[in-house]
Structure 1
């Protein structure tokens, strides 16, 4: 509802005020749009502020609640592939496992 009111005010009401105001009062249009934008963002920030009892921000109480992540150091993409060193005459000298 707040978003609809903000868009309605800044796009319709403020523009109608700009059209109907005399030239000396044209700065009121910009002032009203900026103030309404400030109020909109302050109210939105207040509504979505962090809460002290947010369950997503609480640290786990015991070790069983903590999920252990498995660290993978090898991807398996190079599994079974070996590196071949060649001598200057083109013959294979020895095979080494890659990585």
Structure 2
């Protein structure tokens, strides 16, 4: 499956929709997109419902973006992780410090508060 990242303005935050595999090949594109949004000062929700795979490099990209957003006191959340992807976040403990929501409304409300 191809990798694609789309940005959408949503209420008081930016929604980043990811589709496909997040791996060593696609990580640079994902990192650039997340960094660009954070650097303009927007709270960020990452919609992962169409992510089919996430390896350690993808996980590191998300963790790095969360850290960057936190340093700038910006909201950052993930939404709609598929079970296989969610398992990676759970096994590594990342789900303990990056907020993960089931619905877009929950995530956007949380980062915009």
Relative to the length of structure 2, the TM-score reads: 0.19
Q: Comparing both structures, which one devotes a greater share of its residues to strand?
A: 2
Query: Of the two structures, which has the highest relative contact order with CA contacts closer than 8 Å and spacing of 6 or more?
Result: 2
Structure showing greater Rg: 1
